[in-house]
Amino acid sequence: MSSPKLRLAVIGLGHLHPRAYMPLFEAQAGLEVTAAYDPDAARRAAFCQDYGLTGYATLDQLLEAEPLDLAAIFLPHADCEAAAVRCAAQGLHLMIEKPMAHQADAAARIVQAARQQGVKLTTGYCWRYHPVVTAMREALAQGAVGRVVSVEARLAAGRVGRYLEGGAEWMLQKARSGGGPLMNLGVHWIDLLQFLLGDRIAEVCARHGAASDAYDIEDHTAALLRFANGVAGVLTTSYVVPDCFPNGRDLYIGIKGTHGTLSYAPGYEGESGSSAAGQTDVLECYSDAPALAGAGVRRLAFQLDRVPGYSGYMGQAYVANFVAMIQDQAPPMITPDEALSVLRVVAAMYRSGETRSWEAVCA
């Protein structure tokens, strides 16, 4: 006998991602989206009409009326804490769009509430599910680069206008978003670097800037990193990328060691696939590690099928993992403490921008 479907409500629609997540939710046989909350009547009506959902003007109305199992929260980052704590008190499992909150302290209170109520909690660091990331972890474990000495990462994606056009102008307001591309995009690479190296970022030195005074967020950041084991790194994030750049995004991760280098510049299929046939991503591995008998140069190609929805196959795997977590069939790909550690790195980077010095990351 099959288990009953998990009932999900979408909390917040003034974000670029709720519509992009709907194909991911619909692809899960064990999941059913039944309702949505948003205070904007027109936005709520359009979304609910398009997906056949019941809409609510307040979160309390939704929670009082709907029998639910989980909440997918897409609110402005500063509003996520109150909604998550309220949903957890109702016994709902929590899928909160990254970075989970606008500040590390707020995220810590969400984690505490989830633990106290015994509900599962996840956030969308979907790059962990990428097959190239799996291959990078395997290469590191095999000693392909020897002892890691440095990392380099950059993530530049889109212009600020997309938030105005998408009804998410709050993303350009620091009090509501927590920050700019470092908070919204850089968190992906901070999480991924810690995941790949199996180590935490212990200290940072960052500088932030803005190309316009029309908003109070930074729109570019450059940061130096020091991992707990001594590995050095550099991370740049930006909303300043030309529209003509391939896929509108400049993404890169490189890992250098005593015997080799891993180099990966992702293609990004976005919300609907880079083409009808998908895409091919390539991991370049340069190694003279003795243990690998002179592996030399290897280019590993991964053919990635087109999957509808946010982040395509990565987003689909992310949602599937959370459903399996709730059903006690799988461990979490990312734990609440790991998600919290990302925001603690971000907090140290913003402090560094103010103090103009190296800042320790709170453990």
33 in Cβ contact with 22 (< 8 Å)? yes
Q: How far apart are the first and last CA of the chain?
A: 45
pLDDT digits (tens, 9 = 90+) for 261-304: 999 999 765 443 444 456 788 999 999 988 776 667 888 888 87
Tell me: pLDDT of 247 over 90. Answer: no
In this structure, is the dihedral angle defined by the CA atoms of residues 264, 269, 275 and 279, taken in order, positive or negative? positive
CA 72 to chain centre: 14
Per cent of the chain over pLDDT 90 is 81
Of 300 and 59, the one with more pLDDT = 59
Q: What is the pLDDT of residue 159?
A: 85
**Overall average pLDDT of the 161-173 stretch:** 93
Q: Is the pLDDT of residue 104 over 70?
A: yes
**Percentage of residues in the chain with pLDDT exceeding 70?**
96
The CA distance from 25 to 261, in Å, is: 38
Residues 6+ apart with CB under 8 A from 145: 139, 255, 256, 257, 258, 259, 260, 261, 262, 287, 289
- How far from the centroid of its chain's Cα atoms is residue 227's Cα? 20
**pLDDT for the residue 101:** 98
Mean pLDDT, rounded, for 165-177 = 95
Please tell me the least confidently modeled range out of 61-65, 154-158, 163-167, 268-272.
Answer: 268-272
Mean pLDDT of 41-59: 98
Rounded mean pLDDT of 320-335? 91
- Assigned CATH for 130-308+332-360: 3.30.360.10
**Residues 31 and 93: beta-carbon distance below 8 Å:** no
Contact 171, 78 (CB under 8 A): no
Place 2 in a pLDDT band, splitting at 50, 70 and 90: low
Predicted pLDDT at 268: 64
> What pLDDT was estimated at residue 271?
40
Q: What is the pLDDT of residues 31-47, one digit of tens each?
A: 999 999 999 999 999 99
Domain spans, the chain = 6-123, 130-308+332-360
Q: What is the mean pLDDT of residues 302-317?
A: 88
Q: Note the CATH architecture for domain 6-123.
A: 3-Layer(aba) Sandwich (3.40)
Contact status, residue 119 vs residue 93, Cβ threshold 8 Å: yes
In this predicted structure, the answer to whether residue 355 has a pLDDT above a threshold of 80 is: yes
Mean pLDDT computed over 303-325: 91
The stretch 148-167 carries a mean pLDDT of 92
- Is the per-residue pLDDT at 361 higher than 90? yes
Tens of pLDDT, residue by residue over 188-214, are: 999 999 999 999 999 999 999 998 889
Maximal C-alpha separation, the chain = 64
Phi, psi of 297 (to 5 degrees): -105, 125
Query: Phi, psi at residue 18, to the nearest 5°?
Result: -55, -45
Average pLDDT, the chain: 93
pLDDT for position 158:
80
Q: Model-level pTM?
A: 0.95
Q: What is the mean pLDDT of residues 334-351?
A: 97
